Amino acid sequence: MQQKKLAFIGAGNMSRSIISGLIQSGYNKDLIMASNPSTPKLDALKEEFGIQTTQSNDEACTFADAIVLSVKPQMMGQMCEALQSNDLSDKLFISIAAGLPVSRLKEMLGGDYPVARVMPNTPSLLGKGMSGLYADPTITETNRQYVEDMMNGVGDTVWVDQEDDINGVIAAAGSSPAYFFLFLQAMQEEAINMGFDQAASRKMVQQAMLGAAEMVCQNPDLELSELRAQVTSKGGTTAAAVNTLIDEGLQETVSKAMRAAVARAEEMAKQL
Ligand SMILES: NC(=O)C1=CN([C@@H]2O[C@H](COP(=O)(O)OP(=O)(O)OC[C@H]3O[C@@H](n4cnc5c(N)ncnc54)[C@H](OP(=O)(O)O)[C@@H]3O)[C@@H](O)[C@H]2O)C=CC1
Ligand SMILES: O=C(O)[C@@H]1CCC=N1
Query: Stretch 47-68: mean pLDDT, rounded?
Result: 98
Predicted confidence band at 129 (pLDDT cuts at 50, 70, 90)?
Answer: very high
CA of 224 to the centre of ligand 1 (A): 34
In this predicted structure, the answer to whether residue 271 has a pLDDT above a threshold of 90 is no
> Which CATH class for the 176-268 domain?
mainly alpha
How far, rounded to the nearest angstrom, does the alpha carbon of residue 78 sit from its chain's CA centroid?
23
pLDDT of residue 269: 87
Query: Distance (Å, rounded) from C-alpha 185 to C-alpha 187?
Result: 5
Nearest-CA residue for ligand 2 atom 5 is 98
Q: Is the CB of 176 under 6 A from ligand 2?
A: no
In this predicted structure, the answer to whether residue 57 has a pLDDT above a threshold of 90 is yes
Predicted confidence band at 1 (pLDDT cuts at 50, 70, 90)?
Answer: confident
Domain ranges of the chain: 6-161, 176-268
The pTM is what? 0.93
| The dihedral formed by the CA atoms of 264, 92, 103 and 176, expressed in degrees to the nearest 10 | -10
Query: Stretch 29-33: mean pLDDT, rounded?
Result: 97
194 annotated as a binding-site residue: no
Name the residue of 70, 71, 175, 271 whose CB sits within 8 Å of the most ligand 2 atoms, as the mutation to test its pocket: 175
Q: Is the CB of 73 under 6 A from ligand 1?
A: yes
CATH value of 6-161 in 3.30.2350.10, 3.40.50.720, 3.40.50.300, 3.30.365.10: 3.40.50.720
In this predicted structure, the answer to whether residue 216 has a pLDDT above a threshold of 90 is yes
pLDDT of residue 2: 84
Predicted confidence band at 138 (pLDDT cuts at 50, 70, 90)?
Answer: confident
How far, rounded to the nearest angstrom, does the alpha carbon of residue 23 sit from its chain's CA centroid?
17
Q: Is the CB of 123 under 6 A from ligand 1?
A: no
Mean pLDDT over the full length of the chain? 96
